[in-house]
Amino acid sequence: MLEKGLSVTADRRMKVLLVGIQTYRGYPFLSLYNLQSYAKGGEGVRVKSDIRVLEYHYRGGGDDEEILNALKDQGADVIGFTCYVWNMSGVESIGRELRRRDDRVKIVLGGPNVYDESCGPERYLDWADVVVRGEGEITFSELVRAWEDGAPLSGVEGITFREGEEVQSTEDRALLGELDRIPSPYLSGMIDLEKVETTNNYVEVSRGCPFSCSYCKRPNLQQRARLFSLERIEAEMDHILRKRGKGMLVLSDADPFMRTDRTKRLLMNFYRLSEGKNALLSFNGDVMHLKDDLIEPLNSPQIVIALGIQSTDPQVLAGANRQFDATRARATALKLREKAPLAKIILHVIIGLPRDDWKSFRSTVEWCLSVNPHHIILFRTLVLPGTELWLKSREYGLEYNPEQMNLLVSTPTLSNEELNAAHELVTRINALRTVPLIRDFFWRYGHSLSGSAEAPFVTAAERFIEWVTDQDEYLRERLDMKNSVDWSRRGLYWDNEFMLAKEDRLALLESLGEYLEIISPEFPSDGDWGGRIRTAMERYEWLDHLEGYLKQALKTEGDRKNGVLVGRDIVGVIEGLNGAGWRLHGVDVTERACQSIQQLTLSAEWDRIRVASYDSLSQAPWKGFQKLVFERMWGTLCQDARLEDKMNHLDRYAEPRAMIMFLERDGDDLTGNGRLEHVLKGLGYLEAGRMEVGSLSGIPVFARCWQRDH
C-alpha cells in the first residue's frame, strides 16, 4: 500500500511538481522537461500522475516566502528539485522550510550537486525524502510509479532514501544506451515556447564526456559519448526556430569538434533553417580537436564559439588533467580567426587551479590576446562537489566559500587580492577591447612590443589602461571596479562596443589619440590613426543623433508606422524610437553582424529588424514601405557594381507614392558620377529636394528625398 501521507485513488491522480530554482532568467531547465517528457511518453514506465514543471527566479530574502506560498497553492504530493552548485542555497533554503511546514509532501532531489556518493547524498535526507543519483529519466519514472502503486522504494535503482532511522542506497542505474528513447520536450510540447520566456534554447546533442578535467562535474568520467540522432536534433532546431523566430540555440555537447562530419551537417541545417531569422548557434569546443575542414563552415555571423583554454601553463594543466599544446593550439586559433572572421570567438580561462599563480595567469591571458579573440571570459575556480578538486581541496590548500557557490577564496600560490586583481584586469581589457579601434590598437601595439617586453600583448593593454587612468579623472572613475559601473548596460550589450556609454567611448578614443603621440617611437604607424579615430568618434556621434534626424525626416504618423531604416548598428536607434510609439522596421547592414543579432535576441524589436550583409540586400525580404531611409550610404551605393539589382529588388516592396531618403552630412560626396540618380529615375523616382534635419559637429545634416511619381 502507499506510504503514509500520499493519497491516490481512482478519481485522484498524484500531483507532481518539478521545480527549477533560477538564480537568473534566461533559459528553461531542460533536465526537468526531460524527466516530465519521459515519465509521460517514454518507453517502459509511464506514470499516471499529473506532472508539471515550474520555474522560479530566486534572489534570496523575500523570494523564499513568495515561492513557498506558490508551491503551497499547488497542493502537490511530490516536489522534485534539480540541484546545481549555483542554485543549491536556494533549493536548500526553500526545501527545508517546505519540510517544516508540510511533513506530508514528498521531496525529491536530483542533479549534479547531490547525486555523487562522495557528496554524501544522505546529508540531505533530514529534510528530503529521496536523492536520485545519476541520469534521472528512468529512475524518476520508476520512483513516481512506485509511489502510485504503493511499492517499496528498494526496487528502484539509482536512489538514496531514508527508511525509518536507516539510509538505504539501491544499486546504481545503468546509463541509457539509446538517448532518443527520451521523447523530445520541444517536439512533444512539454516546453511551450510561446509561454516560456527564454533567449537561450538548449539542444542536447550528446551526453557523456571523454575528458577527466579535475574541476568539472560530469557523471561517469571517461565514458564514451552517447549521441542523440541527427534527425531529432534537426527537428528540434526547426521547431525552436519556427516557434521563436529568434534567439540563441545552444548545443549541449562535450566537444562537437571531435565529430567533424556530424557537426558540419548540423551547421548546414542551421543555416538553412535560420535563413531570414535573427538567430545564433552557440557551442563550446576544444581547439585541440578543431580540424581544418571544419573551419570555413564556421564562417558566419550567426556562430558563437567558446574555446575552453583554461590555462596554458604545463604544470597547471597537468594538475587539471588537461592536454594542451600551446603552439599548435595558437596556430589553429589564428587560422580560425583568419578563415572564419565572421564568427564570434570567445576564450574561457580559469584562474586558481592547483599550481596556478600570477605569472601563469598572466601568461595564459597573453596567449589569449595573441590570437585576438572577440572576448575573454575569466572564471574563478568553483570547487564543485564530487570533483577531484573538491575531494583533494585540503591537499591542494584550496580555500573556498560554501555560501557563494564554493567560489575560490585563495590558494597557496594566489591570494584573494590577486584573484580580485586578475578579475579586474581582464574585465578592464575586455571593456576597452569592445571598442573596435582600441582592440585593433592593442593587437598592433602588442606585436610592436614583441621582443622588447615580457607578455607584450598584456603589457600593451596594461600600459594604455595605466596611462588613461592616470591622465583622465573621468575614465579613472568609469574604469574603477570599486565604483558601481553598470558593466552590462541593460543586459543587451555585454561584450560589444555599446556596453560602454557613448561618453566613455569618445573619451577612450580621444585618449588613444593622445597616447599614440607619446608612444610613436616604439609604435611605428601603419596607417592614418588620427583619421580612423576621427571617423570612429564621428560615427558614435552620428548614431547618437540619428533618432533626432529621423524625427525631423519622418514627421507624419504614417511615416513612423510604415518606414524602413537601412544602416549600420541601428538596433539601438530603432529600439529608442519604437519605445516612444513608433513602428519602424530596419535592415542592419553592420560589419559586426553577430553583435547586432545578439542585441536582437534580447530586444522587443527582434521581429522588426533584419540583420543582413550589405551584399544580401538584393535578397532581403523587405516590408512594404512608404518611406525608405538610408543613413550615410549614398557613396556605398554609388560604388556598388550590383546597384541596379539591389534597387530593383527593394522597389518591388514600395507602396504608391513611396519616398526614398538619404540622410547625409553636408559636404559628403553625393555625386558618384550620377549613377544612383540614373537608377532612381529609371525606377520612376524624381528628386523632391532636400531638407535640413539637424547638424553634426556644427555641419548641417540633410535628407535628400526622391519621390515616386506614380
Domain harbouring 30, CATH code: 3.40.50.2300
Asked whether the predicted pLDDT for residue 484 surpasses 50, the reply is: no
8 Å CB contact between 245 and 277:
yes
CATH number at residue 637: 3.40.50.150
Q: Are residues 344 and 207 in the same domain?
A: yes
pLDDT in tens, 333-372: 999 999 999 999 999 999 999 999 999 999 999 999 999 9
What type of residue sits at position 71?
L
Report percent pLDDT > 90 for the chain: 66
Residues 94 and 214 in one domain: no
250 forms bridges with which residues in the sheet? Answer: 202, 282
CB atoms within 10 A of CB 289: 14
Cα(128)–Cα(106) distance, integer angstroms: 7
| Single-letter amino acid code for the residue at 694 | G
26-57 residues labelled b (16+ CB within 10 A) or e (exposed): ebbbbbbbbbbbbbbebeebebebebebbbee
Is residue 102 included in any domain, yes or no? yes
pLDDT at 8: 53
Same domain for 593 and 550, yes or no, is yes
Mean pLDDT, residues 187-204 taken together: 86
Determine the average pLDDT of the residues in 168-193: 92
Q: Classify burial at 315, counting beta carbons within 10 Å of its beta carbon; exposed 0-12, middle 13-18, buried 19 or more.
A: middle
377 and 228 fall within a common domain: yes
| Region of poorest pLDDT, from 108-122, 182-196, 305-319 | 108-122
> Percent of the chain having pLDDT more than 70?
93
- What total of structural domains would you count in the chain? 3
pLDDT for 481 equals 65
Which range among 124-138, 490-504, 541-555 shows the weakest confidence by mean pLDDT?
490-504
Claim to verify: residue 223 and residue 162 sit in the same structural domain? no
One-character DSSP codes across 391-410: HTHHHHT-EEEGGGTTEEEE
Query: Average per-residue pLDDT in the chain?
Result: 89
| Position 402 in a domain | no
The three cell numbers of residue 275 are 535563413
Q: Report yes or no on 194 lying in a domain.
A: no
Among the residue ranges 110-119, 280-289, 389-398, 645-654, the one predicted with the least confidence is 110-119
Mean pLDDT of 302-331: 95
List the CATH number of the domain containing 210.
Answer: 3.80.30.20
Last residue of a domain, one of 382, 404, 438: 382
Give the pLDDT confidence score for residue 486 in this predicted structure.
52
The reply to whether 421 falls in a domain is no
Residue at which a domain ends, from 327, 358, 382: 382
The pLDDT of residue 1? 33
Asked if residue 250 and residue 131 are part of one domain, the reply reads no
Per-residue pLDDT at 542: 97
The residue ranking higher by pLDDT, 600 or 437, is 437
- Is the pLDDT assigned to residue 274 strictly greater than 70? yes
Burial class (CB in 10 A: 0-12, 13-18, 19+), 295: middle
224 in the same domain as 147: no
Is residue 394 in a domain? Answer: no
pLDDT for the residue numbered 2: 44
Same domain membership, residue 238 and residue 340: yes
Q: How confident is the model at residue 138 (pLDDT cuts 50, 70, 90)?
A: very high
CB 705 within 8 A of CB 661: yes
Instruction: Report the range of poorest mean pLDDT among 263-272, 380-389, 454-463.
Output: 380-389
Shared domain for 371 and 243, answered yes or no, is yes
Buried b (16+ CB within 10 A) or exposed e, 495-530: bbbbbbeeebbbbbbebbeebbeeeeeebeeeeebe
Task: Determine phi and psi for 679, rounding to 5 degrees.
Answer: -65, -45
* Domain end call among 382, 401, 416: 382
The SS3 call for residue 344 is strand
Distance CA 33, CA 39 (A): 10
Q: What is the CA radius of gyration of the chain?
A: 29
Q: What does the pLDDT read at residue 623?
A: 74
433 domain-assigned: no
Range of the domain at 309: 199-382
Could you give the 3-state DSSP secondary structure of residue 685? strand
SS3 string, 511-578, reads HHHHHHHHCCCCCCCCCCHHHHHHHHHHHHHHHHHHHHHHHHHCCCHHHHHCEEEEECCCHHHHHHHH
pLDDT in tens, 42-100: 776 788 899 999 998 887 777 889 999 999 999 999 999 999 888 888 999 999 999 99
Residue 198 pLDDT: 72
* Mean per-residue pLDDT, 19-48: 84
pLDDT at 483 over 70: no
Is a pLDDT exceeding 50 seen at residue 392?
A: yes
Per-residue model confidence (pLDDT) at position 7 = 54
Same domain, 137 and 224: no
pTM score of the predicted model: 0.92
Q: Distance (Å, rounded) from C-alpha 438 to C-alpha 37?
A: 49
Residues 204, 352: one domain? yes
Same domain assignment for residues 225 and 294: yes
Report the alpha-carbon angle 606-607-609, nearest 5: 70
Higher-confidence residue of 622 and 348: namely 348
Read off φ and ψ for residue 45, nearest 5 degrees: -75, 125
